[in-house]
Structure formats: structure tokens, C-alpha cells
Structure 1
Amino acid sequence: MSSSPPALELAEPPPLPVELLRAAVARRPARPGEVPRLEVRVRQLPPDPRRLALYREVCGFPEDGHLPLAYPQVLAAPLHLALLNRPEFPYRLLGMIHVRNHIRQYRRLEEGATLSVLAWVEGQREVRLGRELDLHTRVEAEGVLVWEAVTTMLRRLPGNEERPREERSAEAKAALAQEEELFASSRPARWSVPEDTGRRYARASGDYNPIHLYGLTARPFGFPRAIAHGMWTVGRCVAEMGEAAEAPSLTLTSEFRRPLLLPSKVVFQTVKAPSGGVAYRVRSEDGQPHVMGLLTTSSSPATEDGRERPGA
């Protein structure tokens, strides 16, 4: 069995625009390939105050001295792209779809903290539409694990058969009925999402993927207009949940359903989930779903004797 490629140790994250350019010119075979374990780490990563201020502004967070719950995902994004651009990775980055995100925060992070960030990818699994793989992110402060996430990506592959339409329709109707019952008691908030949201979030995150910038740059990729960044939508939801998202230890799950075209008018809803926590969703005014998720409190990582364990 061949050994995994060596881990990358970087002094600072690579610029996201450079990684996007590398992705645009990369060539990969169309057939499925093995995904080896690939790692990249930056040991000293202080958040940039200017970009953090832009992130707070575009998502709606107050200046409270702490990093918003989803902000470490922004810090890790260049490392994710660097992993997926490595020659050992078998698929083109462009065309991969962000389908789910799972975040665990073990304590609130001060905005001036210097963080150590490790990201890795390993393996994949077959799903109905192609292959799914997980990007793992681990954030430490002073040697202690404080935040981690799993970012699930989908690579559609030719030849993957769709299930019969009748079967999909029955499942979809049952899931929709259950979801509507859950949110029936919620008080919806209506948002107007401006046309420049993608450009504003790009200035905060460094993610200048053309599908998020203008209709002209999004159309070659099959979108009639620019679409919002998925993690902008998540960040905006977290900001709207206020104090519920300011607890020290939290778990946030998000499922991305459909792209959010810009500009748009959407409906944001929250409700107490039967299993605990706050369920949330964003849908269009005509009922098309964009994002659905759950925010819950979580416990700190610990060893068997109850002491907080250090990071790896």
C-alpha cells in the first residue's frame, strides 16, 4: 500500500484568488479516482482585522470582541482550496458542490487570538449523484482544540443513475410535509438580499469565485445570475439568531439545498427543534428551499477523566 503524500506546512494561507486561478486551469481525468490523505497546516494564523470587520458588516454581526461562530471556516477556506488543488487530488475543484457543513465550537474565540489551523481530506463515498468527500478542519488556540468542522463536498459524475421520478417525488413530499409541520409555528423574517452581496462577501472572505460576482461571470457556469456564497447565507443566519449563537460551546449543522440567486427576497425562519436547539431555514418567497440547519449547545472535548484534551 502506497504511503500518503507529505503534509504541507505553510507559513501563511495561500491567497484565495491564486488558488481559484489554479483551479480554473487545472486538468483532471473525468473518471473517479482514489482520494489519498492530504494535509495542510498553518501554525500561526491571526485573523485579519479589516476582513473581519467586512465579514461582520456583510453578515450582520456586532463588534463584540469575539469571532463569529462560522468565521474560522473563512480562515480555513484557502487551506481547503490548496488541498483540492494538489496534483494527488483526482477531481477538478471547479464543479465541486458544497452540500453540508458541520461546525463544533468549544469556546468563544477572541478576535485577536492567534490560531493554529490544520485541514485534511481522506477518502470518499459513493452517493446517488457521484462521490462525496469530507474536508476536516481543526483549529487550536495555545495548543487546545477550540473549533472543528467537516465540510462535505459532492463531485457529480457521469453515468450515475437517477432514482425513478415517482420514488423521488414521494420522498420529497414526505420530507417537505414534515419540514412544514416543524416550521408551522415560526415567525418568518423577510430579507432582501442585494445584487452585490457576493462581491461584498468576496472582499471579506477572499473568495472571488466568478459564480458569486456578476451575472456575466456566473452564466458560463450555468447560472442565470450570480449566486450567494453558501457560507454567507450560514453566517447571515447565525447573526440573525443573536444570543442563541453566542454561547461558548455550540454545534451548527447546515444543509445546502438550492443556490440563492442575486438579488433575491427570501424568508428566514427559526423554531425550537424537537430534539433540542434551534432549527433554522432560508427559503424563497415561493417556497424553494436554500439552506436548512440546526444550532445546539455542545460539550467541550474531554478525556475520560474529564480534563480538556490538547489538540493533536
Structure 2
Amino acid sequence: MTPPRPAALPTLPALLVGSLAGLWRRPAAPPLQDGLSRHFAVAGIDPKHAASYCRLFDFRHSRLPLSYFYLLAQRAQLALMLDRRFPHAIPGLIHTGNDLRLHAVPRMDFGLTIAVSLGPQASTGKAPTLTFGFEMSQLGRCVLSGSSEYRLPKSRRLTPSLHIEPEKMPASLPALAWSFEPSQIRRYALLSGDYNPIHLSSLLARRLGFRGAIAHGMYSVARATACIEAETARPLLAISATFQYPIHLPARAIFGCEVVDATHGSYSVFLPKEQRIAVKGLWQAALA
């Protein structure tokens, strides 16, 4: 069977208009059984945009950091969410996990094809979740693959528990103080195009069960990627993230990175005030 011809990856303004229109979308059909999939094409990577991203996070070992590619994958996911068959409102979807793996560093001046698909709806406890898989190819070769998990907003309101045990930062992780300010999140929103109102509007975030606006999950992952690369002096080939507690703005956090061997390790973002680990994951660096 001939593979579908990829459509041009929509621009951010077009995607933002469509996602805002999705505020009023309501499920009109039962959950999809066979998923959705699309193929998109992008002419190349804008060197100025990539350079701005590297400056924002102080990347020094990668011209195209691993976490940067999520910006393209996220556009493809958003475009798939705008498919008429996607039954959920886009604003308010809660990003709960991510995996990225770089197979080869693509050339900036060559086009990329992005295949994105939506898996069957699943449940984590009482919360329905959606998982998107994506794969980027250049010149017929896969250069990056990954997945993203989202929790549906209607299940986000949780009953507070009186028996939540405080968590501790793993003692083996060297600590680095981080701050999360609304101005930083606005800069990331401008660069990434992720204007989900839960990150920018305390009023709308509270309507979805949060105390106020929260940081983007991938903002934390990008900062983690930059810090790990600075620690190991090597670019990352893979990183995973579990977003298990929201970072309400403004916030103070402790970032910890553990090097298991020369190319593998783990990391955590810990919130001292809440005594909770907000983000944790594993990473893999390139060989010397």
C-alpha cells in the first residue's frame, strides 16, 4: 500500500486558532476504537528559532537539543487533535508523560516527515488517558521517535487526601536550586507556541482543579536536558519524563541528576514546600 502523502505541518497561529475553537467541543461519539494517524511535512528547521531555544535554556553541547524536537512533535499532535474525529476539547488536556529518543541528528536544511498517531483511550486509576506516538524521518531514515501521554481534564479534579506521605529527594542526587517564575513560562510559551491556558491563566487553571497557573511539563524537561548535558558534557540521546505533581507558579524547586554510568542516569525535580517530586525520569547520553 502506498503511504499517505504528508500534509504541510500547520503553522502555530492556525493551530492556536483551531485549539481555542476547541474550547466548545464536546464528545459527539464514543471513544475511538482504531485511533487516528496523520503524516505531516516540515520544510526544515529554522536555525534562528533553534538558537533562541538554546539560549533560553543555556544549551552548550547541542545545536539541536533532544528536547527541541518535541516542539515539532507537539505541533503534529495538536494538528491531529484538530481532526474532526477527535472527540475532546484541546485546552485543559493535562500532559502527564513523555518519551523522546534521538536516532540520528537531522540536517536543518532538509525536510522532515512527522508521523503521529493516537492510541486507544486507557485509564490510570480513575483518570482516562490518551497516548500519542510520533516518529520523525529525514531522507527515508527515522531520526527521532517518542510518545506523549495526556490525562483528560474532566477527571483532573481530585479529592484531597489526609494521608499523603511527604516525599523526599533521593539522597544520591546532587542538588541544584531552580526557580519557576511566570515570566519564564511566558517566554517558553512564546517560543514553543504552547498557549494552553492552564500555564498562563490562574483563573482558567483554577477552573480545571489547580491552585493557579502551572509550568509546562516540557519546560522542566528542557531545563533538565540542559543541566544533564552540562553535567556530562555530552548531548542526550534519550529522556523520559513522568509529570506527577503540578508546579504552581511561582515556585522554588530542587533539581537532582544522578549519573549511573558514563551514559545513563536519572533525574528529579523536587518541590520543597509541597514535599513532592513534580517530575522524574531517566536519560541516556551519547558516547564520547
Matched, 1:255 2:254: no
- 1:196 is paired with a residue whose SS is helix
1:86 to 83, 87, 94: 83
- 2:41 is paired with a residue whose SS is strand
- Report the counterpart of residue 215 of structure 2 in structure 1: 228
Q: How many residues in Structure 1 have an aligned counterpart in Structure 2?
A: 278
- 1:20 is paired with a residue whose SS is helix
Assess if the C-alpha contact under 8 Å between 1:131 and 1:157 holds in 2: no
Assess if the C-alpha contact under 8 Å between 1:140 and 1:146 holds in 2: yes
* Aligned amino acid, residue 27 of structure 2: R
- Report the counterpart of residue 207 of structure 1 in structure 2: 194
For residue 233 of structure 1, report the CA deviation from its aligned partner: 0.6
- Report the counterpart of residue 291 of structure 1 in structure 2: 279
Assess if the C-alpha contact under 8 Å between 1:14 and 1:82 holds in 2: no
Matched, 1:267 2:267: no
Matched, 1:67 2:64: yes
Structure 1 alignment gaps of length 5 or more: 1-5, 300-312
How far apart in 2 are the matches of 1:152 and 1:233?
Answer: 16
- Report the counterpart of residue 33 of structure 1 in structure 2: 31
How far apart in 2 are the matches of 1:8 and 1:32?
Answer: 29
* Aligned amino acid, residue 36 of structure 2: L
Classify 1:102/1:272 alpha carbon distance in 2 versus 1 (closer, same or farther; 3 Å).
Answer: same
- 1:259 is paired with a residue whose SS is coil
For residue 217 of structure 1, report the CA deviation from its aligned partner: 5.0
- 2:21 is paired with a residue whose SS is helix
Larger Rg: 1
- Report the counterpart of residue 46 of structure 1 in structure 2: 44
For residue 289 of structure 1, report the CA deviation from its aligned partner: 1.5
Classify 1:7/1:152 alpha carbon distance in 2 versus 1 (closer, same or farther; 3 Å).
Answer: farther
For residue 122 of structure 1, report the CA deviation from its aligned partner: 2.8
TM-score (norm 2): 0.83
Assess if the C-alpha contact under 8 Å between 1:51 and 1:205 holds in 2: no
Structure 2 alignment gaps of length 5 or more: none
Q: Give CA-to-partner distance per residue, 1:253-294, whole Å, 9 cap, x none.
A: 1100111122211100011349x7111011112322110000
1:13 to 3, 10, 14: 10
Classify 1:12/1:32 alpha carbon distance in 2 versus 1 (closer, same or farther; 3 Å).
Answer: closer
How far apart in 2 are the matches of 1:113 and 1:253?
Answer: 27
CA-atom RMSD in angstroms = 3.1
Classify 1:254/1:21 alpha carbon distance in 2 versus 1 (closer, same or farther; 3 Å).
Answer: same
Classify 1:73/1:53 alpha carbon distance in 2 versus 1 (closer, same or farther; 3 Å).
Answer: same
How far apart in 1 are the matches of 2:177 and 2:66?
Answer: 23
- 1:260 is paired with a residue whose SS is coil
How far apart in 2 are the matches of 1:247 and 1:65?
Answer: 6
TM-score (norm 1): 0.77
Q: Give CA-to-partner distance per residue, 1:153-189, whole Å, 9 cap, x none.
A: 222666xx99xx79x86xx78xx5xx75xx2122200
* Aligned amino acid, residue 42 of structure 2: Q
- 2:182 is paired with a residue whose SS is coil
Classify 1:84/1:23 alpha carbon distance in 2 versus 1 (closer, same or farther; 3 Å).
Answer: same
- 2:53 is paired with a residue whose SS is helix
Classify 1:297/1:192 alpha carbon distance in 2 versus 1 (closer, same or farther; 3 Å).
Answer: closer
- 1:261 is paired with a residue whose SS is coil
1:278 to 253, 261, 265: 265
